[in-house]
Amino acid sequence: MHQHSKHALLPRYHGKSWLNVRLPRKTVEWCEGGAKSLAHDCTDEKSLMTTLKELNKTNAWVWPKRKHIFLSDLHGDPDAFAASLVLSGCIKKNGPKPTDFSLNESGRKANFIIGGDCFDKGPSSLGLLRTIRHLKDQGARVRVLAGNHDVRVLFGMQAIGKHKTPKNEHFFIRTGQKIIPLLKEIWTEYLQEADSLKHIPNKRTCKKMLYPSREWFNRFPDLAEPHLISHQIERELTRIRKKYDTFEDKCEKAGLNLRQVYAAALKWQELFLLPKGEFHWFYKQMRLAFKSGSFLFIHAGLDNKVAEQLSGIGVKDLNRIFKQALQGAPFDFYYSPLCNTVRTKYRNVDHPFTNKGARHVRRAGISAIIHGHRNLHSGQRIALRKGVLNFECDASLDSHTRRNEKIRGRGAAVTIIHPKGKILGLSSDYPHIKLFAPHSTLLHLQKKHAKRKTKQ
C-alpha cells in the first residue's frame, strides 16, 4: 500500500494532551508482530495464507459502508474508554473527566460497537455506562453487545427477591467477588441517607435471600445433567462452593456488610430494571451479535449450534431469540449454546466448534469474526479457528486487570474496520498500528515465505 493512502486511513488524535497513554503513530503489517499479532496456539502463517487465498479467491470480503469502531472488555473503566475513543480519531477530548469530549465529523459518520463486558472489576461501572450514554447523546451510532459479565450481573441481581428454586438461587453468589466494586459504588453513590437500611431485614434474612441453600449443592447435579457433562458440573459446584465460603469476608474487606449488599442489589434492580431507571437503556438495547458486510461482531465466539443458526435464520432472528432468553428462565439460557457465545474460549469445557461449524460460518457470509473476551497484553491478534478468521480484540484495558497482571501504563485500544478494505488494530501496549488488508497481507506473507525457502 502506498504511504499516502496509509496516512489517509489513520485516525487523527484530538485532545491527546489530556491523556497519559502511549499512542501508536506508524503502521506495520499486521503479521510482523509474531506471537504478539498471531495466536500461535492455533494459527501459523501457512494456514493463514491458505485461509486468505480462499477468502480472496471467492470474493468473500464485503466491507461495511461506514467505518466501524470496535471497543471491548471495558470492565468499568471510563478513563480507558475515553482514551480508546481518542485512539479511534472520532472524538475531541477537551478536559480531564471521562465525559469531557465531543464527537467530531469522523465520529458522526462511524458506527461504534461496544463488544461486551462493561461490568465488574472497576473502578466505576456506573461511570463507564454514563460515558457510553454521553457518546450516544451526542448522536453517535452505538451498539452494545452482551458479554459474559453483563449477563452474569443481570441474572445474579434479578435472582434476588424472586421465588427461590434450585435453578436460580445460585446466580447471585456465582457473580463472586468481581461484583463487589459495583455494589460498593451503588452503596456509596445512592445509599448514604441515615434511613437507607430502614426497610432492609436483618443479616440472617439477607444472607438467606442472597445465598443458595445448603441443599442446592446436592440438587444441582441432577438439574444440570441435561445441559452439562460431569466434569463441567463438578467444576461449577467447586467454583460456587468457594464463592459461597468467601463472599461475605470479601465484602467485609471492601467495607460492606450483608445488609448493605442486599440494599445495593435492590437499588441496582431499580436503576437497571425499572423503565425510569437511569440505566434501563443498557439491557434494553443490548444485543448478542451484530453483522455488517461480511463481518460478525460478538463478545467471545461461536459453537456449532449457533453457527448453524446464523447460516439458517441470520443475526436478526438470533438477536430476537437472545432477547427472549434474557427475559426467560436464566438457568436454561446460561448453560445453553446461545450463552456459550459470550464466554467460550474454545476449551474442552466449552461447547464445540468444529469444521461443521466453520462451514456454517462461511454459508452465513461471514469472512471474519471480531470479538473480545480473551485478554491480551500486546494489543489485538489474529486467530484461526477451524480455518475461520478471528480478530481477538480484548487488549486488557481496565486498570484492575492491568494492575493484577502487571501490565505497564494506562490501557487504550480500538479496532477499526475501514470501508476501504482495511482493519487497523491500535493499542497502547503495541508500538505500532497493526494494519491488515486481505490482498496485501497475503502478498506480504507469500514474500516472507518465499524468502525463507530461498535461504533454505
Strand order in the sheet with 368-371: 289-292, 295-298, 368-371, 388-392, 381-385
Residue 453: its pLDDT value, please?
76
Look at residue 348 and tell me whether its pLDDT is greater than 90. Answer: no
What is the pLDDT averaged over residues 177-197? Answer: 95
Residue 359: its pLDDT value, please?
98
Rounded to a whole number of angstroms, the distance between the first and last alpha carbons of the chain is: 29
What is the pLDDT averaged over residues 371-391? Answer: 97
Look at residue 367 and tell me whether its pLDDT is greater than 50. Answer: yes
Look at residue 221 and tell me whether its pLDDT is greater than 70. Answer: yes
Which residues are bridge partners to 93 per DSSP?
101
Residue 295: its pLDDT value, please?
99
Residue 451: its pLDDT value, please?
83
- Other CB atoms within a 10 A radius of the CB of residue 219 amount to 15
What is the pLDDT averaged over residues 370-374? Answer: 97
pLDDT tier at 363, thresholds 50, 70, 90: very high
Average pLDDT value over all residues in the chain: 94
What is the pLDDT averaged over residues 317-331? Answer: 92
> Taking a C-beta distance cutoff of 8 angstroms, is the pair 424, 435 a contact?
yes
Residue 4: its pLDDT value, please?
46
Within 13 Å, how many C-alpha atoms sit on residue 307's CB side? 23
- Could you read off the pLDDT of 413-456 as tens digits, one per residue? 999 999 999 999 999 999 999 999 999 999 999 998 888 777 76
Look at residue 1 and tell me whether its pLDDT is greater than 80. Answer: no
pLDDT tier at 226, thresholds 50, 70, 90: confident
Look at residue 2 and tell me whether its pLDDT is greater than 70. Answer: no
Look at residue 163 and tell me whether its pLDDT is greater than 90. Answer: no
Domains and CATH numbers, the chain: 3-146+288-455 (3.60.21), 174-273 (no CATH)
pLDDT tier at 307, thresholds 50, 70, 90: very high
State the pTM of this model.
Answer: 0.94
Backbone angles phi, psi at 299, to 5 degrees: -75, -50
Residue 349: its pLDDT value, please?
81
pLDDT tier at 8, thresholds 50, 70, 90: low
What is the pLDDT averaged over residues 97-101? Answer: 98
What is the pLDDT averaged over residues 213-236? Answer: 90
Residue 5: its pLDDT value, please?
52
Residue 306: its pLDDT value, please?
97
What is the pLDDT averaged over residues 318-342? Answer: 91
Return the higher-pLDDT residue of 3 and 46: 46
The three grid cell numbers given for residue 131, joined into one nine-digit string: 460515558
**Which has the closest alpha carbon to 438: 1, 52, 14?**
52
pLDDT tier at 332, thresholds 50, 70, 90: confident
- Other CB atoms within a 10 A radius of the CB of residue 135 amount to 22
Distance CA 24, CA 430 (A): 7
